[in-house]
Amino acid sequence: MKATRGGVVGSAGIVVLGLVCQELGAAIAVTVFPQVGPIGMVTLRLVFSALILLVIFRPSVRRRSRADWLTVLAFGLVLAGMNALFYLALERLHLGVTLTIEILGPLILSVVVSRRASSWLWAILAFAGVAIVGWGGAGELDPLGVLFAAGAGAAWAGYILLSRRAGATFGRLDGLAFAMAIGALAILPFGIGSAGLALVQPWVLLLGVAIAVLSSTVPYGLELIALRRLPASAFSILLSLAPALAALAGLFILGQSLSWADVAGIALVVVASMGAVRAAARADRLETDEPAP
């Protein structure tokens, strides 16, 4: 029992470490916006992430059906759109605020999956948290930034659904590697058009590699390790910590100050996200448990 408990605690630590890496990558990306802009930064991240995943996993293109490729095509386009909207939001909003709004997408998905009216209380609590951030936070929220963050949240919900479908069809992270390559190809013309030759500056390329490793390669690898010992519901609850960790990264790396209203609003969203995940997991157990003979 002790070994199992220690394994769970260690896996939880691995998930949190992956989240920290993701938020560090996002914070570093913001510092490169003056040179390449948000779309240029997305292009660098997706291109290098795709190259790293393709080299590591070397996915095979053989024996793939048309439905498989349509799934991975949709996955890649949603992945590109989610990252683009997220980075466009980061250009106008603080990192913690952006994640707080974005997480509403997967939170609402969890509520819908639970199919219980009581679960909507968690969604109401989350919206209340976002309202507190918007109306009582450290600064007035940019409406377009809020729209971008909300769009990223909707895309995140689609990403979760397509990720599950691709994971059921492709082994390891093959589906993600293909999707990342498709997303990189889709965003590449826009990145070149917005950033031009700034994309090929040596120091920009080096930061692009670092951001790709921090934001994609390391977190995805750590998640694979953690999911071997950690229940999916517990994993999802830990992911709910993302807004709080993003706020800390924004504070210490970017100097983005937080008011007490910001802290309270982010805390409400984190609690609501955890509650929605637990409600969805409980509903799933009730559906799958068979009556005793």
DSSP secondary structure letters along 27-81:
HHHHHTHHHHHHHHHHHHHHHHHHHHHHHHH----TT--HHHHHHHHHHHHHHHH
Measured distance CA(87)–CA(76) in Å, rounded: 17
Question: Within 10 A of 233 (CB to CB), how many other CB atoms are there?
Answer: 17
- Is the separation of the CB atoms in 166 and 73 below 8 Å? no
Domain that holds residue 230: 2-288
d(CA 133, CA 256) in angstroms, rounded, equals: 14
Q: Residue 241: what are its φ and ψ, rounded to 5°?
A: -75, -5
In a domain, 280, yes or no: yes
204 Cα distance to chain centroid: 23
**Would you say residue 221 has pLDDT above 90?**
no
Q: Quick: pLDDT tens for 227-285.
A: 667 766 677 777 888 899 999 999 899 998 888 888 898 999 888 888 877 776 666 56
Structural domain contains residue 293: no
Split into its structural domains, the chain has a count of 1
Q: pLDDT tens-digit profile of 53-106?
A: 999 888 888 888 888 899 999 999 999 999 999 999 999 999 999 999 998 888
pLDDT interval class at 186 (50, 70, 90): very high
Q: Please report the pLDDT score of residue 227 as a whole number.
A: 65
| Residue 138, pLDDT above cutoff 60 | no
Residue 113 lies in a domain: yes
C-alpha–C-alpha distance, residues 145 and 89, integer Å: 4
Which has the minimum average pLDDT: 60-64, 128-132, 157-161, 203-207? 60-64
Supply the pLDDT for residue 281: 67
